[in-house]
Amino acid sequence: MRRRVGLSPGGALLLAALYFVLTAEELAALLAAAAAHEAGHILAIRLTGGRVTRLTIGAAGAVLERRGSGGTAEEIACALAGPAAGLLYAFAAAGPWPLSAGLSAALSAFNMLPALPLDGGRALAAAAGERAAAACSLLASAAVLLLGVILCAGGYGFAALAAGAALCAAQPGRGSL
């Protein structure tokens, strides 16, 4: 029987890196924000008649595999449910746990970018088609990379640069538009 929750080697590396870079409170806050985000996806999948078959933690975050949750509207709802749940969690956690609330809001905003494989890119692909989503995704990824270069050069760290590089690397069918 196949396990329903998995951890890829990249996911183990990501969690290990976060463990050594973040404080225990920061790591807990980030994991709580990510859990709220994924719970939103899972709830939407269930409400649209689908079933989550597997959750894998990878180098780029969590990936849900599912079966049978309908057509275009359902796909858009399932894609946007994660960021929506993250924003609801951010509002709820703002008083008692502002660090987790801020991380959740940032995670939701980032995931709403119209770049594949992010939630905003998945919603765009469902609404406008794969070709339009791929073109928009490439532009959005390049914009994040450029912003990262500017911020890194200005001394604001390399997080946006790393995010932009990861998004550019994840683009489907690069060069085949």
pLDDT tens digit sequence for 47-72: 999 999 999 998 888 889 998 867 89
Contact in structure between 163 and 148 (CB atoms under 8 Å): yes
Report pLDDT digits (tens) over 76-129. Answer: 999 999 999 999 999 999 999 999 999 999 999 999 999 999 999 999 999 999
* Per-residue pLDDT at 2: 67
Give the Cα separation of 144 and 156 in Å (integer): 14
173: left (phi over 0), alpha (psi -120 to 50) or beta: left
Mean pLDDT along residues 4-28:
93
Ranges of beta strands (E only) in 68-150 are none
Confidence of residue 172 (pLDDT cuts 50, 70, 90): confident
The strand pair at 61-67 and 51-58 is best described as antiparallel
Give the Cα separation of 38 and 40 in Å (integer): 5
Say if residue 19's pLDDT is above 50. Answer: yes
* Per-residue pLDDT at 150: 97
Q: For residue 62, what are the β-bridge partners?
A: 57
78 contact partners, CB below 8 Å, separation of at least 6? 41, 44, 45, 48, 50, 66, 69
Report pLDDT digits (tens) over 124-167. Answer: 999 999 999 999 999 999 999 999 999 999 999 989 999 999 99
Check residues 177 and 108 and name the one with the higher pLDDT: 108
Contact in structure between 123 and 76 (CB atoms under 8 Å): yes
Confidence of residue 176 (pLDDT cuts 50, 70, 90): very low
